[in-house]
């Protein structure tokens, strides 16, 4: 039964260790229901593809893990695709060479491989911070990419198919399904794993461990002086972060039935995962997940609209970043910039014209600055 508690003066309910206000509980239930009805919604529209949303959720789940580092330790990893790719390739190798058919065992293999990889990379890279740490993670990610690309046992640039069944049929829990049914079932499997992962991450971020990470992120020297084992705690956070990437990669391999270096280990994937966390709101729990779906959806729609889809995606992302400086979820939640602007608009509707004039002046100022810079570049005078 839910236990009624007081959270900073606001009535809240505690269920399974999760404290939510009534408003948050409504959004939570609506969000879970929405996740489960997405296949039905996607079947009603040709422009909304389940596979795109599914892929966005998987990369977003990896971004949830990265967010633990980014938000609490202030460490920026440029190589998180290494764990995503390790989980994907571990699943493919187990299925193809060891004949493992159980999805549970494949995911356990992905978790084990990602844990070992994160533990090793963490030990070797966490001796440094800031830019050196970011470059080291990037280097390790590219090293794994080169290994996958050069090993014939891993398929090289052609990749490695995941064929758990003797007839090359996709199997789930020992049963063969048609591709359409398999796609829906694996989507629901992903949703269940994501909900469990979010619950675990919530408990981590509500524990004393999170407070220790926050202290380390604010000032390492002071954290060390008060007795915190800084390197051990950050290493543990790094490994947990890598496990989330490995689970996402393992599910990616199960869903796609094929893994390739470019799609899983390439450094641009690391950039995507990092940007997903920032885009969705790295100060929130579900923000990276939303950022993953939005970014993958924009990339997919952009490819249908123009061959210069990367330019179009970049423009849309610039608008989102400037319009939602705290990320999508961070700006929408209570106290965010969107709610503040809406409250201001409700109090004084005439403020809309002032916003328009301010936006026009800002655009005019930026254009003038850009033209001045262009004139200096072309003619070398100010």
Q: Which domain holds residue 43?
A: 1-48
DSSP 8-state secondary structure symbol assigned to residue 126? T
Same domain, 39 and 170: no
List the CATH number of the domain containing 138: 1.10.3470
Considering the domain boundaries, does residue 187 fall inside one? yes
* Tokens linked to 61: 């789940």
183 pLDDT band, cuts 50/70/90, is confident
Read off the pLDDT of residues 127-178 as tens digits, 9 standing for 90 and up: 888 888 888 999 999 999 999 988 888 888 888 888 655 545 556 666 777 7
Considering the domain boundaries, does residue 341 fall inside one? no
3-state secondary structure of 20: strand
The domain total for the chain is 3
Q: Given this model, what pLDDT does residue 174 score?
A: 66
**Cβ pair 84, 249 in contact under 8 A:** yes
Same domain, 186 and 37: no
Q: What pTM does this model have?
A: 0.83
Q: Mean per-residue pLDDT for 312-327? A: 74
Q: Mean per-residue pLDDT for 94-99? A: 86
Considering the domain boundaries, does residue 302 fall inside one? yes
b/e 96-126 (16+ beta carbons within 10 angstroms → b): beeebbbbeebbbbbbbbbbebbeebbeebb
Residue 298: pLDDT above 70? yes
Q: Given this model, what pLDDT does residue 224 score?
A: 87
341 pLDDT band, cuts 50/70/90, is low
Considering the domain boundaries, does residue 230 fall inside one? yes
β-pair type (175-176, 171-172): antiparallel
Same domain, 32 and 180: no
End residue of a domain, out of 31, 48, 65: 48
Same domain, 9 and 53: no
Same domain, 63 and 117: yes
Most confident of 88-97, 304-313, 362-371: 88-97
Same domain, 263 and 374: no
Same domain, 112 and 34: no
Same domain, 183 and 233: yes
C-alpha 244/C-alpha 234 separation (Å) is: 16
Considering the domain boundaries, does residue 340 fall inside one? no
Same domain, 202 and 238: yes
């Amino acid at each position: 039964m839910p236990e009624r508690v007081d959270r900073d003066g606001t009535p809240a309910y505690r269920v399974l260790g999760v404290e939510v206000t009534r408003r948050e509980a409504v959004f939570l239930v609506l969000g879970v229901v929405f996740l489960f009805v997405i296949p039905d919604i996607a079947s009603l529209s040709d422009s909304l593809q389940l596979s795109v949303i599914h892929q966005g959720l998987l990369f977003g789940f990896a971004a949830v893990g990265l967010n633990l580092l980014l938000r609490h330790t202030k460490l920026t990893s440029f190589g998180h695709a290494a764990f995503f790719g390790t989980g994907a390739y571990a699943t493919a190798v187990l299925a193809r060479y060891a004949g493992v058919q159980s999805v549970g065992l494949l995911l356990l293999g992905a978790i084990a491989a990602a844990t070992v990889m994160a533990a090793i990379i963490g030990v070797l890279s966490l001796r440094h911070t800031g830019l050196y740490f970011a470059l080291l993670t990037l280097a390790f990610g590219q090293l794994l990419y080169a290994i996958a690309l050069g090993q014939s046992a891993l398929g090289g640039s052609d990749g490695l198919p995941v064929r758990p069944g003797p007839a090359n049929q996709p199997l789930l829990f020992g049963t063969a399904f048609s591709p359409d049914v398999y796609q829906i079932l694996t989507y629901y499997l992903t949703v269940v794993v994501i909900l469990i992962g979010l619950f675990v991450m919530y408990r981590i971020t509500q524990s004393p461990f999170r407070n220790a990470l926050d202290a380390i992120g604010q000032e390492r020297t002071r954290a060390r002086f008060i007795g915190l084992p800084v390197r051990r705690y950050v290493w543990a956070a790094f490994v947990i972060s890598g496990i989330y990437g490995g689970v996402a990669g393992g599910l990616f391999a199960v869903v796609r039935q094929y893994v390739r270096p470019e799609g899983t280990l390439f450094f641009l994937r690391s950039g995507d995962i990092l940007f997903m966390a920032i885009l969705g709101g790295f100060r929130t729990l579900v923000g990276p997940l939303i950022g993953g779906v939005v970014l993958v959806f924009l990339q997919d729609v952009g490819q249908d609209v123009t061959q210069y889809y990367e330019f179009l995606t970049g423009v849309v992302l610039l608008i989102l970043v400037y319009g939602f400086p705290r990320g999508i979820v961070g700006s929408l939640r209570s106290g965010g910039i969107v709610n503040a602007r809406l409250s201001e608009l409700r109090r004084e509707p005439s403020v809309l014209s002032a916003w328009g004039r301010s936006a026009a002046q800002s655009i005019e100022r930026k254009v003038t600055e850009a033209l001045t810079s262009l004139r200096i570049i072309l003619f070398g005078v100010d």
